[in-house]
Structure formats: C-alpha cells, structure tokens
C-alpha cells in the first residue's frame, strides 16, 4: 500500500511518519504542500510540526494549501487519512473533523510519554487494537487542548467517535480527556499524541504506536466493520 506523507513549511515529523509507514510494511510517498496530485496513494498522513509557523491558528494556513483540496476530496470519497498533532489541527481547520485545538491549559509546552485508551477500534487506523486497549505514546504540543461545544461533544460520545482518550493524567486540558476522534465514516482520524514516535523500543517508549499503521497496511481499510483483532504491540485491559 502506498501512503502519502505531506510536508508543509514547518513540518517536523514527516520523516518519522514515513519511517513508521515503512516499519509497517508500506511504501511511503512524499507529498509536497503545493502538490495538486496525490500520486496515486491509497492513504494519507498529515504529520506533526508547526506548519506555516502556526501563524493565525495552528493549521489555519495549511488548510488552504493546494494539496489539501485533493486530500479533502479523497477523504470524502473514503480514503483513509491520519492527522497527527499539527495534522489533527489541520483536519479540524479543514472541517474534516469537528472542534478545534487550543493553547494547553497549563500555558506550557508539554512533552512526555502518555497513556491512552483506544475507545474505537472500528476505524481504518485502529482495527488492529483490542477494544479498550491501553497504549503509551509520546505527546508533545503547546496547543493540544481539544475543544468543541457541548452538543458536538455529546454527539461524538454518542456516536462512538472518540477514538483515543487520555489516561493517567490529561496533558493539555482537552475536554472530556479526548486525545483523538474520527469522522462518521471512520476513515479520517486525528489525534494529538505521536504514534510515529512509538514504533521502535530503541527510540520510543515501546511499539504501541505501530498499531495505527499496521491496522491499515496489514488488514486493508476495506475490512468489514465489527471484525476485530488484538494488535500484538498493545496490551488490552
């Protein structure tokens, strides 16, 4: 499977995301923010960083990059899209996901290994996890507080669209401890923590993050809903 990894001016984690794709057995395809062609990829990763210097709001300028027009159209047709940290912010700015990310409650940049609970295993990126699996991946953000109005939060909860929830402490003040969400179709997922930094025990807290990439690449995003399997790199509760 060919997975596009987008680089915007200010992106930091595109190399890491591409490495995660390769670790999972896929082909990483570099996409530039000015591209008008997705080069025939099967899925897209919007990696972390500080696109366009985080001017205006995080992700607000990147949302209008030429490549995003192609990604929005492809996502609406069902292509799997994963937004990590700044990528999550871009997905919200592009209205592929609801809500927004704001300054951390502490007003400080947070960088630490973070516990997460996987609460939705029916997305294109989480089908390899056991229900309610608890994983550890790094978090590093200054504007990672997820917010939305109460009606939107209730809808996300009621529709099972909260994918990841912080456990062992909320690092940024996100409403209802939300760390990641999905769209209604389950093909677009955004999260603030960095799974691409937890794919090798030599360079991360473990390999829990690899499960997001292997879920897509090993099983394919067209797997029927409801067929769940435990990821060998995660621990179920």
Answer whether residue 237 is part of any domain. Answer: no
Answer whether residue 152 is part of any domain. Answer: yes
Backbone torsions φ then ψ of 212, nearest 5 degrees: -65, -35
From the number of C-beta atoms within 10 Å of its C-beta (0-12, 13-18, 19+), residue 34 rates as exposed
Question: Active-site residue 194, yes or no?
Answer: yes
Catalytic option among 58, 93, 194, 197 = 194
Q: What predicted TM-score, i.e. pTM, was given to this entire model? A: 0.91
Q: Per-residue pLDDT tens for 75-133? A: 999 999 999 999 999 999 999 999 999 999 999 999 999 999 999 999 999 999 999 99
Structural domain containing residue 68:
2-219
Name 110's bridge partners: 141
Catalytic option among 58, 93, 196, 197 = 196
- Check the CA dihedral 21-22-23-26 and report its sign: positive
Enclosing H/E stretch for 111: strand 110-118
Contact status, residue 72 vs residue 63, Cβ threshold 8 Å:
no
Which CATH number does the domain housing residue 198 bear? 3.40.50.880
Burial 36-50 (b: 16+ CB within 10 A, else e): eebeebbbbbbbbbb
Question: Active-site residue 196, yes or no?
Answer: yes
pLDDT > 90 in the chain, percent: 88
Answer whether residue 193 is part of any domain. Answer: yes
Question: Active-site residue 95, yes or no?
Answer: no
Answer whether residue 226 is part of any domain. Answer: no
Answer whether residue 231 is part of any domain. Answer: no
Q: What is the pLDDT of residue 224?
A: 34
Number of separate domains in the chain: 1
Answer whether residue 211 is part of any domain. Answer: yes
65, 69, 74, 80: CA torsion to nearest 10:
30
Q: What is the pLDDT of residue 217?
A: 87
Answer whether residue 234 is part of any domain. Answer: no
- For residues 191 and 82, give the distance between their C-alpha atoms in angstroms, rounded to a whole number: 8
Q: In a 3-state reduction of DSSP, which class is residue 102?
A: strand
Q: What is the pLDDT of residue 220?
A: 57
Catalytic option among 33, 58, 85, 143 = 85
Q: Per-residue pLDDT tens for 198-215? A: 999 998 899 999 999 999
Answer whether residue 62 is part of any domain. Answer: yes
- Residue 39: which residues within 8 A CB-CB, separation 6 or more? 2, 4, 29, 31
Place of tokens 């896929």: 26
- For residues 130 and 118, give the distance between their C-alpha atoms in angstroms, rounded to a whole number: 8
- Check the CA dihedral 83-87-93-98 and report its sign: positive
């Amino acid at each position: 499977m060919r997975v596009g990894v987008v680089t915007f001016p200010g992106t930091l984690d595109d190399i890491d995301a591409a490495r995660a794709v390769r670790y999972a057995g896929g082909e990483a395809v570099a996409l530039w923010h000015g591209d008008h062609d997705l080069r025939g990829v099967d899925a897209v990763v919007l990696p972390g960083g500080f696109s366009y210097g985080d001017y205006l709001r995080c992700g607000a300028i990147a949302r209008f990059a030429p490549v995003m027009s192609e990604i929005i159209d492809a996502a609406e047709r069902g292509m799997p899209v994963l937004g990590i940290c700044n990528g999550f912010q871009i997905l919200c700015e592009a209205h592929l996901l609801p809500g927004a990310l704001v300054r951390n409650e502490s007003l400080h940049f947070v960088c630490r290994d973070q516990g997460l609970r996987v609460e939705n295993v029916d997305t294109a990126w989480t089908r390899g996890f056991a229900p309610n699996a608890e994983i550890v991946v790094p978090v590093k953000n200054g504007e990672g507080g997820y917010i939305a109005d109460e009606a939107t939060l209730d809808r996300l909860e009621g529709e099972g669209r909260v994918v990841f929830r912080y456990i062992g402490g909320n690092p940024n003040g996100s409403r209802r401890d939300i760390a990641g969400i999905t769209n209604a179709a389950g093909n677009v997922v955004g999260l603030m923590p960095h799974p691409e930094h937890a794919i090798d025990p030599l360079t991360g807290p473990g390999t829990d993050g690899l499960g997001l990439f292997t879920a897509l690449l090993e099983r394919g995003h067209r797997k029927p809903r409801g067929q769940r399997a435990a990821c060998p790199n995660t621990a179920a509760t």
